[in-house]
Amino acid sequence: MPGKGEFGLKNGIDLNDSIVELPAKIFSELRDKLDTNPADKDWRALARAVEKEYRIKPSMIELWSPALSTGSASAKLLTELSSQGMTVKKLINYLNTIEVDTCALKLSPPVDIQIIKTPPAELEVYEGDPLVIQIDATGQPYPTYQWFFCQNGEDDFKKLVGRTEKVLRLNDATSANAGTYACRLSNCRDPKKTKITDHTLVSVIPNPMPIHSGLNPPSRDDVIYLYNQIGHTLPAPADLMPRLDDTFDKRCCSVSYSLIIGHPRDVLVGMNEPFVLSVQTSGNPPISYQWYRNGLKLEGEVWSKLSVQHASILDFAKYYCVVKNGYKTEQSNTAYVKEKFPKPERNVEILLVSQPKSVSVKFGGCALFSCEARCSEPLKYQWFKDGMPLQGEVSSEIKFMNIQDRRVEGFYQCEISVDIRDENMPRRMTMGALLTVEIPHVRDNIEYNPSDKVALLIGNSDYKSETPLNASTIDVQMLSESFRALDFRVVSLLNLTKPEIENAVLHFKELLGENVYAVFYFCGHGFEEHGMSYLVPTDAPAAYTAQECVCAQEILANIQKKEPPVIFMILDICRQEPKVKSTRVPQFVPKTNRGNTVFCYATSVGLAAYENKNGGLLVNHLSPLLRKNIGIDALVSDVKGEFARVHKHSKIQIPELVSNLLENQRSLTDKISKKGQTEAFQQRDIKWNAAHQKPDKQTIHFEEVGVVIELDFQAEFSNVLHVFTTVIDHGRTQSCIGKITNFSPPISQQGKVDEFKQYSRVVTKISLQDIQKLKENLIVDVTITFFMNNTQYFLQRRVNLGQPLVAKLRLWEHSHHFTPTSREAIQQDEETDSAHSYPSAQ
């Protein structure tokens, strides 16, 4: 199975997907940026950019405004755009239009800086006139600018504080401004990619025009107005107006002065306290004023002073004033109004503990979606259906009772956020869950009741010599949930070597019987050779051949020994030829003519299997269909139909069904009946529980400081153990945290260590993978880090957790009984009447 990024960016995002498919982390970062950016790059700017192509009305924008509604305005805008089918590619284009950094959001790759407009090598400016030097550049992330200046007579450049825009503008140039200017552009930490513009030599020369006398010349419109007032018609020979214009232009050029002589200053103010910003001017009246906050015009604020009686959180912002008098227009410096006693920053993190699961129910049935999260602050919830918020659904669960309407079918997600009105608080979106409603139908009065149902699911992703995969863990997790919902006993294993795969199959075989349904699933790298399918283990060498891999037909032969009524083999692998061909043809070619086998291949012979950000394509289409009350053959046919409906998937991957199942109405949804099989059912219970036993919850005392630590355990996969370390009692310490800091060498850590608070107690979580590699008991070190008298200390305890989960099965041992002998194959041939043999399912 090829690696990620088959359909779009390196992070697996498909550019042609709807923006509702964006990962929750990217969605929340984009939402926060659009909520807090300056006015030319915020959610309103995006709304103005898309309003022609998408139906975004001004009335909608005003309703979304934070002043009129609760919640995030940008989240409402993005949800509306997703409901209108905006793709990720379109969103990126519009974000680039308003210069929002899409590279930081991981929506576009980094691009080196390219200067597209350079400043001149030399520039002359009259004394008193404005000095303007402009530069423009492209790149991802967008470049930052910093201007430098070397005054005439000096030999070093100095940073111009606050001059960080594309355009360097200095009003009223003087001889002190004469010298050399340059700008530094950067968009990453790599100094080699920083660009410096060529130097611009600026000369400031005396102004030949007379100094302004204090009077402004009338404009041409003023002259026309005055003539009309006195009842005369303005003379209009052919050359009068050009001469007037030329005269006015020359007279205007002679005027050099600044309207603003006093700029507003920064203010520190407390909540509900008053503050005043003011601008001082000189020049001919009438002078008009207009104040702006964060780039937006403040209606009614048209005086030289801006007064606020009671400062609110909206008032802590950037302000400037635009001043006009008919001849000149000037903008004041920016003044910052900051909170005098800002709230301390909180380190708040939302940890998702459980997420909603897809469910299929019959008419009249009930459905429940729930999620659980942990956080040091109170949380609030909002459920969404197909990207749109559900009115009133604001608890951690959503229920559907006595379903009589298929309109409830859809894609459900929950947004979890901190219940505090603070834009900087985090938000998390759960994974989506699908609700489907089954139409009842009659199955020709044929009822099948297996005595048990078991599934072995293996996902390989962390390869020693092959490209790592992302989908395997996601797919095994998704299928585990689906099969458990169908009352299957599930054995789910990640990242197995060749002997571990073979031993897992042998132990799995012990859970089977003559009336037990069997499902085998493998996701990872694979290939086909001589008509046989091979699964690549994680320890395969770089130039692996069939001899270093596991043959799927041999797995089937082992399962066949228990003669189950149904064997469902799901192979989520590529079916192309191997990179290195085997030196010999396999001796064993098993027969599958017992009328009980269905092969579901992720793709057809000679083609590859693919994954995207949501997992493997096969499982994306298969998992929602598993609960359909139809025969297994029909189920796989429906999967092919789902591929056909998604054109971009069917272009590259076509699933294949190979079946010799005689009782084709057998279904994965068949109900288990223990009638006459109670003892065998209990024996399978004992075997399955032995391979899934977690360590008991235990308490550890650190008597030296009175600290008490609790260890608790969860298992999401059969060879991954989650260990929770909770500080029950801080004892005599000022603060304390407990962690697992060391563990037995054969196993490794999965992901990062999470830290959160639960009921005001500090909890850390670590996930230990490769449990199947344990040859001895699992030993961990529990370390507490604590402060006493403002000094940090450490204490450690070593804890024996025994052999949890599948460690007792010793899957790492070399397997001597996996490969069927040629005698077994010959015996099978002799027992089968060749005149009534059935097609091979290889």
Query: Tell me: the pLDDT tens digits for 27-82?
Result: 888 888 888 887 778 888 888 888 888 877 766 766 666 544 556 788 888 888 88
Between residues 816 and 128, the one the model is more confident about: 128
pLDDT 10s digits, 214-248 = 444 455 555 555 555 445 555 554 444 444 444 44
How many residues are there in the chain?
A: 842
Q: What is the pLDDT of residue 244?
A: 47
**pLDDT value, residue 442:** 43
Query: What is the arithmetic mean of pLDDT over 463-480?
Result: 92
**pLDDT attached to residue 426:** 78
Instruction: Write down the residue that tokens 């891999």 correspond to.
Output: 549
Question: Residue 3: its pLDDT value, please?
Answer: 37
Residue 257 is predicted with a pLDDT of 65
Asked whether the beta carbons of 690 and 805 are under 8 A apart, the reply is no
The DSSP call for residue 198 is P
pLDDT tens column, 530-564: 889 999 999 999 889 998 999 999 999 999 999 99
Spatial separation of the C-alpha atoms in residues 803 and 811, rounded to whole Å: 13
Give the per-residue pLDDT at 337: 92
pLDDT of residue 62: 63
Q: Residue 627's Cα: distance from chain center in Å?
A: 28
> Averaging pLDDT over each range in 1-5, 166-170, 565-569, 793-797, which range is the top one?
565-569
Q: Would you call 554 helix, strand, or coil by DSSP?
A: helix
pLDDT in tens, 297-320: 898 899 999 999 888 888 889 999
Q: How far apart are CA 52 and CA 86, in angstroms?
A: 13
Strand partners, 147: 183
- By three-state DSSP, how is residue 705 classified? coil
pLDDT > 70 fraction of the chain, expressed in percent and rounded: 84
State how far the Cα of 340 lies from the Cα of 316, in Å rounded to an integer: 10
Q: Each residue of 121-177: pLDDT tens digit?
A: 898 888 888 889 999 888 888 888 999 999 876 778 888 888 888 889 888 888 888
Q: CA–CA separation, 163 vs 147, rounded Å?
A: 6
- Can you give the C-alpha Rg of the chain in angstroms? 36
The least confident of 228-242, 263-277, 626-640 is 228-242
User: Alpha-carbon distance 760 to 744, whole Å?
Assistant: 31
Would you call 51 exposed, middle or buried from its count of C-beta atoms within 10 A (0-12, 13-18, 19+)?
middle
What is the 3-state composition of the chain as percent helix, strand, coil, each rounded to the nearest 5?
A: 25, 30, 45
Quick one: average pLDDT of 512-541? 93
Find the helix or strand (DSSP H, E) in which 147 lies: strand 144-151
Out of 301-315, 402-416, 448-462, which region has the weakest mean confidence (pLDDT)? 402-416
The whole-angstrom separation of Cα 797 and Cα 785 is: 12
- What's the CA gap between 146 and 137, in Å, rounded? 13
List the end-to-end C-alpha distance of the chain, in Å, as a whole number.
19
Mean pLDDT score of the chain, rounded to an integer?
82
Q: How far is residue 232 from each of residues 37, 223, 831, measured CA to CA in Å?
A: 55, 11, 123
Is residue 780 scored above 90 in pLDDT?
yes
pLDDT of residue 772: 92
Q: Which of 776, 736, 773 is nearest to 755 (CA)?
A: 736
Element (H, E) at 125: strand 122-126
Q: What is the 3-state secondary structure (H, E, C) of 382-436?
A: EEEECCEECCCCCCCEEEECCCCCHHHCEEEEEEEEECCCCCCCCEEECCCEEEE
Share above pLDDT 90 across residues of the chain, in percent, rounded to a whole number: 32
Non-local CB neighbours of 829 within 8 Å, separated by 6+ positions: 591
* Out of 163-172, 175-184, 820-829, least confident range: 820-829
Q: How far apart are alpha carbons 360 and 423 in whole angstroms?
A: 37
**pTM reported for the whole predicted model:** 0.50
The least confident of 10-24, 259-273, 756-770 is 10-24
Tell me the pLDDT tens digit for each residue of 80-122: 888 788 888 888 888 888 888 888 788 888 888 889 888 998 9
Token duo for residue 260: 């603003």
Peptide bond into 578 cis (omega under 30): no
